[in-house]
Amino acid sequence: MFWKRRDGHASTELQCEVEGCDFICHDMLTLQKHTFKKHPGLQLRCKVEGCDFTCTEFMTMEKHMAWKHPQAKEASPSAKS
Ligand SMILES: [Zn+2]
Ligand SMILES: [Zn+2]
């Protein structure tokens, strides 16, 4: 699953969420491979506000998102102040 934006960016930048890691790529598969290689056993956290779901596999997280937050998809980075 790839989500594309049409607001001028050719592709969406995905950044590794691990603190101190500045790995950036443009597709989820690459990010998954990076995460598994560089950060084995990493806990993934649900990004949805108010949800404290965690897991260690992207597959599980994708299922969780699809089941629990079907509308969330990739939340647009709306900066709240
Ligand atoms: Zn990383
Ligand atoms: Zn959640």
Q: Domains of the chain: which residue ranges? A: 11-40, 41-72
Looking at every residue in the chain, the average pLDDT score rounds to: 81
Q: What is the mean pLDDT of residues 35-59?
A: 88
Which residues have beta carbons under 5 A from ligand 2 (an ion)? 46, 48, 51, 53, 68
**CA 7 to ligand 2 centroid distance, Å:** 27
Confidence at 68, pLDDT banded by 50, 70, 90: very high
Given CA atoms 20, 23, 57, 41 in this order, what sign does their dihedral have? negative
Number of the ligand closest to the Cα of 68? 2
**CA 24 to ligand 2 centroid distance, Å:** 23
Q: How far is it, in rounded angstroms, from Cα 73 to Cα 76?
A: 9
